[in-house]
Amino acid sequence: MKILICLSNVPDTTTKAKFVNDNTAFDTTGVQWIINPWDELALTRAIELKSDAANSIENITVITVGEKDVEPTMRKALAIGADDAVRIDAEPTDAYFVAAQIAEYLKSNPFDLIFNGIESADYNGSAVGGMLAEFLNIPSVSAVSAVNIENSQVKIKRDIDGGTEEVTSELPVVAIAQKGIAKEPMIAAMRGIMMARKKPLNVVAPVEVEALTGIVNFELPQPKPPCKMIEPDNVKELVNLLQNEAKVI
């Protein structure tokens, strides 16, 4: 079985959003770039699955649509334990564009189990995984909190609105991972970091695709009025305010 993880390169989650060029571009000054947290959990789960020989996983590949500056993040994935990496050399303009690029690559390079994170920490579109599956006319399972392989069948646990379900899917399948799929992201060991330098990172030319959406500009949230402080021995007053001022209870 071959596993693919679609990686996004995103600002570290502690990053404060700032913009430049009349608020049309994200200010990357001093930003630390990381593997999108959900993609990292999916990668972790893939490595866990591969470590059990009974699952017969031959390869874990990571793929990113991005320009050369995403390569350090891809090397991190190789250091954590992916076997090889593919970078489609294009600026990721929107989810449709990204999914179309990956789909095109997969038409000649098939995989069995494809992971996407449930959203990316930048544009929060929750979209690439489902789009990719539709481009390839294969099933997708979303909000996935567990993946196991039993007798070469992929068993997936997913959240539905108000519960969980176990899903068995034909392969190939796109599993869209959320929290829970792995307990904690795996951290690269020194040996992994050394090995990552030698692992293949193939660069592929993009195909022509037109993005369907375009960002006009960004805005920062309006500052909130200051917090109204209540004395700790007067919780009654808080309840009174919640009832009569905020009118939320």
Per CB under 8 A, 152 contacts other proteins = no
Pairing of strands 84-88, 59-65: parallel
Per CB under 8 A, 31 contacts other proteins = no
Q: Which stretch binds other proteins (CB under 8 A): 50-58, 61-69, 105-113, 162-170?
A: 162-170
From candidates 22, 53, 163, 191, binder to other proteins by CB under 8 A: 163
From candidates 45, 65, 88, 94, binder to other proteins by CB under 8 A: 94
Q: Kindly identify the residues of this chain, within the stretch 180-219, that bind other proteins according to CB under 8 A.
A: 180, 184, 211-219
From candidates 159, 196, 202, 204, binder to other proteins by CB under 8 A: 159
Q: Which stretch binds other proteins (CB under 8 A): 70-78, 91-99, 104-112, 187-195?
A: 91-99
**Which token pair is 75?**
């090397």
Per CB under 8 A, 33 contacts other proteins = no
Distance between CA atoms of 214 and 194, rounded to whole angstroms? 40
Per CB under 8 A, 107 contacts other proteins = no
From candidates 51, 152, 164, 202, binder to other proteins by CB under 8 A: 164
- Whether the ω angle into residue 223 lies within 30 degrees of 0, i.e. cis, is no
* Angle CA 14–16–18, to nearest 5: 150
From candidates 160, 187, 189, 203, binder to other proteins by CB under 8 A: 160
**Which token pair is 87?**
């970078």
Distance between CA atoms of 68 and 72, rounded to whole angstroms? 9
From candidates 102, 126, 177, 196, binder to other proteins by CB under 8 A: 126
Per CB under 8 A, 55 contacts other proteins = no
**AA letter at 131:** M
Among 217, 211, 241, which residue's Cα sits nearest to residue 229? 241
Residue 227 Cβ vs other proteins, minimum distance, rounded to whole Å = 4
Q: Which is nearer to other proteins, 199 or 218 (CB)?
A: 218
Per CB under 8 A, 20 contacts other proteins = no
Angle of helix 95-108 relative to helix 128-136, nearest 10 degrees, comes to 40
Distance between CA atoms of 81 and 59, rounded to whole angstroms? 10
Task: For 22-75, give the DSSP string.
Answer: TTTEE--TTPPEEE-HHHHHHHHHHHHHHHSGGG---EEEEEEE--GGGHHHHH
Q: Which is nearer to other proteins, 208 or 219 (CB)?
A: 219
Among 85, 2, 109, 6, which residue's Cα sits nearest to residue 49? 2
Per CB under 8 A, 170 contacts other proteins = yes
